[in-house]
């Protein structure tokens, strides 16, 4: 188990109320022993003018997953985690439905973490792959 904390999915979803996560319809759906999963609709909130899922929406889903997962591995009374860098490769366009992101750790260090996020369409096809680097900072 990589997660120091294991809140319920409802608790995680409640923390995103009235934020971009809520606005885009991102919903956490699974906490595994080594992963975190969330979904996002492909609709008027997340599409670009050509009718495809906006690459920025993919990045929001990826950053949300990586940031929340990283925060579950630390003692939040003593530390915080913030994003240092994120990248994304958009591999397949999505016009409708729901995409699913799953994040798994690549590196869990004392001061940095690296998480991989794979985003798939409803057919299970890889649409986007992302990697986020998180800084783990002591609270002052």
Residue 82 CB-density burial (10 A; 0-12 exposed, 13-18 middle, 19+ buried) = exposed
The catalytic residue among 63, 85, 116, 122 is: 63
| Radius of gyration in angstroms for the set of CA atoms belonging to the chain, rounded to a whole number | 15
* Joined tokens for residue 137: 């900072």
- Identify whether 44 is a catalytic site residue: no
Question: What's the helix, strand, coil split of the chain in %, to 5?
Answer: 20, 45, 35
Catalytic residues: 63
């Amino acid at each position: 188990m990589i997660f120091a904390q294991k809140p319920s999915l409802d608790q995680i979803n409640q923390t995103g109320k009235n934020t971009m996560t809520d606005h885009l319809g991102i919903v956490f759906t699974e906490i595994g022993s080594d992963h975190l999963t969330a979904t996002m609709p492909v609709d008027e909130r997340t599409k670009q003018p050509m009718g495809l899922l906006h690459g920025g929406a993919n990045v929001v889903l990826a950053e949300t997953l990586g940031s929340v997962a990283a925060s579950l591995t630390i003692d939040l009374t003593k530390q915080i985690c913030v994003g240092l860098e994120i990248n994304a490769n958009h591999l397949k366009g999505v016009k409708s439905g729901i995409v699913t992101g799953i994040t798994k750790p690549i590196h869990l260090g004392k001061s940095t973490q690296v998480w991989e996020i794979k985003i798939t369409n409803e057919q299970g096809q890889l649409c986007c792959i992302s990697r986020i680097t998180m800084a783990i900072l002591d609270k002052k």
